[in-house]
């Protein structure tokens, strides 16, 4: 068959390009969608928690001073990106971020922007500047004094209650080791904590002035912020901006934790008081060991001993600091046990 008589083949249909798979960025949660979901929730903590997490992630205090700057945006760049997208969702997040930031200039700027946009905001968010702190606080303590839990509360416009639960660890330098915020009144949260510790007679809750609660939280947050590596949990430091904002609503002028100063003369006197009941015996070995123990204890409180403090002291954990022999002699362990019992008798705790 000649080329001229060859039947013509039907034209092929145009191939359709396969649909593009969504990129990995598309699979990640969309910030606008997250804000919309938080606004749909009746609990204001959803949006405040989101704003707090963003601010904590961009907090310069969490970064090592000698590390390279991160590739992500700074706080100011994040604010500018939200200001550049005029949506009700970005307006809501801007309002929450500005409230928790503690930056008065930023608050005024965001207020002007939201007013120009005329985006409707929930009442509690529009009037969040009028949130009121509860006039009292609660402190949950343990007889051994390893740490305290400080609870403070605030009421948002509209009557929604928030309670911050802040655990301050004294063995790590009196810093915030963990914290979280719940949508519940203060008394309800205290009752839950007491129920959880019902089997521990050494745990007690007592009233704490709101001014004292503020300074203790603020100082413990600052101590943790300059500690490296930073202490991190599922909720801390992501809730740090929210906790700081709630603490800032409390009155100033309180008293923080008081740590007595122990000089060489005071430590020597403490050694003699401990050895006094054992007069007539050779205290050379015990005196040297006790001096090392008390030298370590003066960084914390030589009158406060607990299993955790002893664990930190033991050479397997701090060989360079204590310079004690790997195998403690019998007088050493006995001296440590006796030192703890004596300290409890003279101090605030009963021996266990």
pLDDT tens for residues 139-171?
999 998 899 999 999 999 999 999 999 999 998
Closest among 30, 41, 58, 42 to 241, alpha carbons compared: 58
In terms of Cα–Cα distance, which of 120, 124, 152 is closest to 138? 152
Q: Whole-number mean pLDDT of the chain?
A: 82
| Within a domain: 282 | yes
At 296, is the pLDDT very low, low, confident or very high (cuts 50, 70, 90)? low
Residue burial 314-332, b: 16+ Cβ < 10 Å; e: rest? eeeeeeeebebeeeeeeeb
The confidence score (pLDDT) of residue 252 equals 96
Assigned domain for 3 exists: no
Q: Domain range spanning residue 268?
A: 264-346
Q: Say how far apart CA 45 and CA 38 lie, in whole Å.
A: 8
Contacts 24+ apart (CB under 8 A), 297-303: 298/262, 298/267, 300/170, 300/171, 301/145, 301/170, 301/259, 301/260, 302/262, 302/267, 302/270, 302/343, 303/343, 303/346, 303/347, 303/348
pLDDT of residue 331: 41
Q: Which of 248, 279, 311 is the last residue of a domain?
A: 248
300 and 268 inside one domain: yes
Answer yes or no: is pLDDT of 327 > 90: no
Strand runs (DSSP E) across 186-288, as ranges?
203-209
Q: 180 and 120 share a domain?
A: no
Q: Band of the pLDDT at 19, cuts 50, 70, 90?
A: very low
Same domain, 151 and 232: yes
Q: Which of 129, 155, 189 is at the close of a domain?
A: 129
Cis before residue 234, ω within 30 degrees of 0?
no
In a domain, 42, yes or no: yes
Is 167 part of a structural domain of the chain? yes
Asked if residue 238 and residue 150 are part of one domain, the reply reads yes
For residue 349, what pLDDT is reported? 43
Note the pLDDT of residue 279.
57
- Residue 242 is assigned to a structural domain of this protein: yes
User: Sorting pLDDT into bands at 50, 70 and 90, what band is 29?
Assistant: low
Residue 98 in domain: yes
Same domain as 280, residue 235: no
Model pLDDT, residue 340: 53
For the chain, the domain total comes to 3
Residue showing tokens 């403690």:
328
Domain membership of residue 208 (yes or no) is yes
Which own/partner pairs from 289-293 qualify as long-range (CB within 8 Å, at least 24 positions apart)? 289/324, 289/328, 289/329, 289/331, 289/332, 289/335, 290/335, 290/339, 291/267, 292/322, 292/323, 292/324, 293/322, 293/335, 293/336, 293/339
| Cα(84)–Cα(78) distance, integer angstroms | 10
Looking at the structure, tell me whether residues 125 and 151 fall in a common domain.
no
Is 206 in the same domain as 232? yes
CA distance 351 to 341: 6
User: Do 229 and 292 sit in the same domain of this protein?
Assistant: no
Q: Averaged over 63-80, what is the pLDDT?
A: 80
pLDDT in tens, 213-227: 999 999 999 999 988
Residue 28, token pair as written in the block: 């990640």
pLDDT of residue 62: 72
Last residue of a domain, one of 129, 159, 180: 129
215 within some domain: yes
Class of residue 140 by CB neighbours under 10 A (exposed 0-12, middle 13-18, buried 19+): buried
Same domain membership, residue 279 and residue 184: no
Tell whether 155 and 241 lie within a shared domain: yes
DSSP β-bridge partners for residue 148: 168
């Amino acid at each position: 068959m000649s080329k001229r008589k060859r039947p013509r083949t039907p034209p092929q249909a145009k191939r359709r390009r396969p649909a593009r798979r969504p990129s990995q960025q598309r699979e990640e949660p969309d910030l606008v969608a997250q804000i919309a979901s938080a606004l749909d929730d009746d609990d204001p903590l959803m949006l405040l928690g989101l704003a707090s997490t963003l601010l904590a992630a961009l907090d310069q205090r969490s970064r090592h001073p000698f590390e390279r700057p991160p590739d992500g945006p700074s706080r100011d760049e994040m604010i500018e990106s939200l200001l550049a997208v005029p949506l009700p969702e970005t307006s809501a997040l801007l309002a929450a971020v500005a409230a928790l930031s503690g930056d008065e200039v930023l608050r005024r700027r965001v207020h002007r922007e939201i007013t120009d946009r005329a985006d409707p905001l929930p009442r509690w968010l529009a009037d969040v500047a009028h949130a009121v702190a509860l006039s009292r606080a609660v402190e949950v303590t343990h007889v051994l004094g390893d740490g305290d839990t400080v609870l403070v509360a605030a009421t948002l416009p509209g009557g929604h209650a928030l309670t911050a639960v802040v655990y301050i660890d004294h063995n790590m330098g009196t810093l915030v080791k963990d914290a979280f915020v719940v949508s519940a009144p203060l008394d309800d949260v205290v009752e839950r904590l007491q129920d959880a510790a019902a089997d521990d007679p050494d745990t007690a809750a007592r009233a704490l002035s709101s001014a004292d609660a503020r300074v203790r939280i603020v100082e413990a947050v600052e101590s943790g912020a300059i500690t490296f590596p930073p202490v991190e949990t599922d909720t801390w430091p992501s809730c740090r901006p929210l906790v700081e904002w709630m603490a800032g609503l409390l009155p100033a002028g309180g008293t923080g934790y008081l740590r007595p100063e122990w000089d060489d003369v005071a430590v020597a006197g403490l050694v003699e008081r401990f050895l006094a009941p054992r007069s007539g015996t050779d205290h050379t070995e015990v005196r040297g060991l006790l001096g090392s123990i008390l030298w370590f204890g003066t960084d914390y409180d030589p009158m406060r001993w607990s299993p955790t403090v002893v664990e930190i002291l033991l050479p397997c954990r701090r060989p360079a600091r204590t310079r004690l022999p790997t195998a403690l002699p019998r007088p050493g362990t006995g001296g440590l046990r006796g030192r703890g019992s004596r300290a409890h008798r003279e101090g605030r705790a009963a021996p266990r």
